[in-house]
Amino acid sequence: MYCKTTLDNGVRIVTEKVDSRVVSVGIWVEVGSRDEHDLNSGSAHFVEHMFFKGTARLSAQQLARELDVLGGMSNAFTANETTCFYATVLDDRVGRLVELFADIFLNSLFAPDEVEREREVILQEISMVEDTPDDQIHELFNRQLWGRHPLGNTVLGPREVVGALSAQHLIDYVRRFYRPERVLIVAAGNVEHDSFCEMWRKELAGFSAAKSAPPPRTVPEPVAPQRLIYPKPLEQVHMVLGTYGLPIAAEERYTLFLLNILLGGNMSSRLFQEIREKRGLAYSVYSYLNSHRDCGVLAVYLGIDPSVTTEAMALVQRELQRFAHKRVAAEELAEAKDYARAGVYLAAESMETQMTRLARNELYFHREVPMDEVVAGIEQVTAAQLQTLATALFSRPLAVAAIGPLQQDAIDWSVLNN
């Protein structure tokens, strides 16, 4: 059963009672990398790390031990628009989990010595991405697609900025952005809504907003597509080709979801079959969506031998134009819907996924979105709608980022002309 309460200070609490012995709890804050600028890029992610590095009551080691003793799983992540702290525990440990989460959320110390230690950890995390080209290429592509807008920055931030952030910088960032109206607490599993709310009402009694409100988010403007090679001595070329997609709550979101599945979202997708199965040009090839509140991305990733770069790009372009110029066959569309429907219901078996679904629905739709409504939306998509959306999305020249043993003049870019 779905329930929602807004506390007097503006914090929202959403729960869904599910027949289970576990409960997944998440604190979601509407702050992420797009709330930063060039001089504080990486702050949201740094703050996320510091929330586990000691409070007035518990040291970092004691916090880790307490969370481990709960016997479940706890973690956190920072994204473009949100930061999330979450854990899944047995239902009889929820009260203790709430106490621990409230403590780190309200009473983290940001001790200078802990900031210095964690800075080195984050710098190693940045190095790990730089040493993993199939991760780094997505960051390079985003920078090209979004230009100087904060969405073009990395979540981790650049080395020189992370190296300069002080404990006071991070404390000020929390005071400005961690406001009650930006906080959403979600639980899925064997949880009683009223008692769960009372736990948080008690813990958050002194939580109020700072006087200085954060600046509003700016909507990104499209930039001219760039096609750039980042030479690096690798065995493969790692490439992303893509264009602007749709906002996460767009009316055509189900059409876009199916378009992505058909393009490169599973093993029977057109790109997987054409590039990997039929021609053996890539081990890894897939398409993906990255949707935000007011914009989005649709992109294709390829890991290929340098000698077949132009051929692989031409095949991607051909498949995109096929969607735009020819309707998808009824059988192919029906199979994609079956795949999508199964994914929706199978994901519901994970309590953590249930919790995440509740959070995203509240953050972006401000209401419960039942799974049956999602499935109905998928079922109603027509081949004509797919073609119309593909025509709109793929009429724009593709942006391209590639990292590997290539030079700019080694590719015949004309294969991407519409």
Say yes or no: 239 and 346 in one domain. Answer: yes
183, 279: one domain: no
Helix (H, G, I), strand (E, B) or coil at 17: strand
Task: Tell whether 183 and 262 lie within a shared domain.
Answer: no
Q: Give yes or no: residues 186 and 249 share one domain.
A: no
One domain, residues 232 and 197: no
Rg, C-alpha atoms of the chain:
23
CB atoms within 10 A of CB 37: 12
Q: Which is nearest to 19 in space by CA: 167, 236, 155, 189? A: 189
- CA dist 245 → 92, 298, 396 (Å): 43, 5, 11
In this structure, is residue 216 part of a structural domain? no
48 catalytic, yes or no?
Answer: yes
- What does the pLDDT read at residue 408? 78
Q: Average of pLDDT values for 353-364?
A: 97
Total count of domains within the chain = 2
| Residue 400 confidence class, pLDDT cut points 50, 70, 90 | very high
Residues 256 and 160 in one domain: no
Mean of pLDDT values over 80-108? 97
Residues 6+ positions from 237 with CB-CB distance below 8 Å? 302, 303, 304, 305, 306, 309, 402, 403, 404, 405, 406
Whether 254 has a pLDDT exceeding 70, the answer reads yes
Name residue 317's amino acid. Q
Q: Which of 16, 30, 36, 48 is catalytic?
A: 48
> Band of the pLDDT at 129, cuts 50, 70, 90?
very high
- Which is nearest to 287 in space by CA: 296, 295, 279? 296
| Structural domain of 262 | 227-416
Do residues 282 and 159 both lie within one domain? no
With beta carbons less than 8 A apart as the criterion, state whether 238 and 137 touch. yes
The pLDDT, as a whole number, for residue 418 is 63
Instruction: For residues 109-127, give the mean pLDDT.
Output: 97
Q: In this predicted model, what pLDDT tens digit does every residue of 242-252 receive, in sequence order?
A: 999 999 999 99
Dihedral sign, CA of 161, 163, 168, 171? positive
Q: Quickly state the pLDDT bin for 71 (edges 50, 70, 90).
A: confident
- Residue 43 tokens read as 């702050």
Query: pLDDT (tens digit, 9 = 90+) per residue, 301-331?
Result: 999 999 999 999 999 999 999 999 999 999 9
Residue 90 near residue 96, CB atoms below 8 Å: no
Q: What is the mean pLDDT of the chain?
A: 96
Identity (one letter) of the amino acid at 411?
A: I
User: Which two structure tokens, joined as six digits, stand for 114?
Assistant: 């802990």
Same domain, 172 and 316: no
DSSP letters for 217-281: PPPPPP----EEEEE---SSEEEEEEEE---TT-TTHHHHHHHHIIIIISTTSHHIIIIIIIT--
Residues 167 and 248 in one domain: no
Cross-strand partners of 3 = 15
Predicted confidence at residue 193, as pLDDT, reads 98
pLDDT band at 21 (very low <50, low <70, confident <90, very high): very high
Distance CA(256)–CA(272), nearest Å, equals 18
> CATH number, domain at 142?
3.30.830.10
The model's pLDDT over 202-242, given as tens digits with 9 standing for 90+, comes to 999 999 987 788 889 999 999 999 999 999 999 999 999 99
pTM: predicted TM-score of the whole model, two decimal places: 0.96
CA–CA distances in Å: residue 164 to residues 5, 54, 158, 401:
40, 21, 10, 29
pLDDT of 73 strictly over 90: no
- Do the beta carbons of residue 173 and residue 40 sit within 8 Å? yes
Percent over 90 (pLDDT), the chain: 94
CA distance 263 to 147: 26
Q: How confident is the model at residue 410 (pLDDT cuts 50, 70, 90)?
A: confident
